Amino acid sequence: MKTLRLYDGYQNTSPHLRDEVKKLQNLLGLSEDGLFGPNTEKAVIAFQKQNKLETDGIVGPRTWAKLLGEVPLKKGNFPTTYGEGNQRLLKQLKAVQENYLPFVEEAAKRAGVPPSVICGIGSRESEWGLSTALDKRGPGGKGDHGHGRGLMQIDDRYHAFARTGKWDNAEANILYAAKVLISSRAYIAKRYTLDDKTLLRATLAAYNCGPGNVAKALAKGRDIDFYTTGRDYGANVLDRAGWFQTKGID
């Protein structure tokens, strides 16, 4: 979501933001004219005050997250067991830096996670298009018996995007992964009160096995990764994320 402020949506300032302003006004229970005027600012400040946010009248990531019922995840340092000179990860790092980094950063921004986490997912899922388990290398590769699509291995059995969308486009695939993270996090956060670190790992586990299975694991007192592939998905993604952090992607 775009950061919004007073006079966004007006013809002489930013008319291209009117749809965003209308969504904001809808969430605040206001008339939807697409113009961020004084009344909208007043409603934003009241909402921020009620939710113990900075009362600046600016609708940034934290205010949007609260409006949408989401819990933004904080950055953190992730320990890694991978060696500094791991050749497979070094090749993946090169692929990311040369071809996908802007998309990784945008996906991270949208999902409210560090870019290293997006790198960790892509590494686990497809080795950033370099895995021999894919039917072909690159953004158009399929895995998991043809059900996993693209760099982030979006499953065509559960996501229409993987059947009808531009799943073989690197940018579209990576940004769709951010949507999966956002919806998974919201599902879990509404049902369980977890600290940031646990919520992040639960969100990652849900990316692999679905939020319902993560909720089931939590309800049964099992490890968050119990229903994930290898029963280590969330932990392993964070392990990989830690390696990418050591290379400056944090």
**Mean pLDDT value across the chain:** 92
Tell me the whole-structure pTM to 2 decimals. 0.71
pLDDT at 74: 46
| Higher local confidence (pLDDT), 88 or 56 | 88
Instruction: Give the model confidence (pLDDT) of 167-196 as tens digits.
Output: 999 999 999 999 999 999 999 998 988 888
Instruction: Give the model confidence (pLDDT) of 58-67 as tens digits.
Output: 888 778 888 8
pLDDT at 73: 45
Confidence of residue 240 (pLDDT cuts 50, 70, 90): very high
pLDDT at 43: 96
Per-domain residue ranges for the chain? 15-67, 87-246
pLDDT at 76: 60
Q: Hunting for tokens 């919004």 — which residue is that?
A: 4
**Measured distance CA(203)–CA(187) in Å, rounded:** 9
pLDDT at 250 over 70: yes
Instruction: Give the model confidence (pLDDT) of 134-167 as tens digits.
Output: 999 999 999 999 999 999 999 999 999 999 989 9
pLDDT at 100 over 60: yes
pLDDT at 219 over 90: yes
Which residues share a beta bridge with 140?
none
Instruction: Decide: 111 and 182 in contact? Cβ < 8 Å.
Output: yes
pLDDT at 51: 86
**Measured distance CA(34)–CA(21) in Å, rounded:** 5
pLDDT at 70: 62
Closest by CA to 82, choosing from 248, 247, 231, is 247
Closest by CA to 1, choosing from 51, 56, 95, 72, is 72
* Average pLDDT, integer, range 89-115: 95
- CATH class of the 87-246 domain in this structure: mainly alpha
* Average pLDDT, integer, range 38-54: 92
